Amino acid sequence: MATTYSISDLARELDITTRAIRFYEEQGMLAPERRGQERVYSAKDKVTLKLILRGKRIGFSLAECRELIELYDPETGSRKQLETFMGKIAERRLQLEQQLLDIQQMQLELDTAEERCLAALAETQA
């Protein structure tokens, strides 16, 4: 028999809230079976959740996570998914590098403003 999980099992194992899991379900990214009122998640649902969480940690949008998950094709393997993932990693790296440059520029501007303020303060005390 295939391994299944309750919503609380998944929440505990992946250290997320049941509310987050329901959110991903509402977004159409998970489709658990129903046994009465109870949601029953498969091993595939667990892997999907792990991929979502990993994608979110490295700054991917939910839409990007969905795209990567939908690219997986058990028939042909994961080559297309991996190639797309590599492209998204490169894009994200460029975004972060630009943000780092922007932060460094802001720090320089703050240093300059601070020096001017200190100089102005020194003049008022003279």
Tell me the residue length of the chain: 126
Rounded to an integer, what distance in angstroms lies between the CA atom of residue 67 and that of residue 88?
11
pLDDT of residue 117 exceeding 70, the answer is: yes
Write out the two tokens for 19: 């509310």
- Residue-wise pLDDT for 11-34, tens only, equals 999 999 999 999 999 999 999 999
**Do 62 and 109 have their domain in common?**
no
CATH number at residue 56: 1.10.1660.10
pLDDT of residue 73 exceeding 80, the answer is: no
**Do 66 and 87 have their domain in common?**
no
CA geometry: angle at 11 spanning 5 and 12, to 5°?
95
CA-nearest of 49, 61, 42 to 15 is 49
Residue 81, SS3 per DSSP: helix
Domain range for 66: 1-72
pLDDT of residue 74 exceeding 70, the answer is: no
- The reported pLDDT for the residue numbered 10 is 95
Structural domain tally of the chain? 2
The most confident of 27-31, 70-74, 78-82, by mean pLDDT: 27-31
The proportion of the chain whose per-residue pLDDT surpasses 70, expressed as a percent, equals: 94
**Do 59 and 95 have their domain in common?**
no
**Do 58 and 90 have their domain in common?**
no
**Do 13 and 53 have their domain in common?**
yes
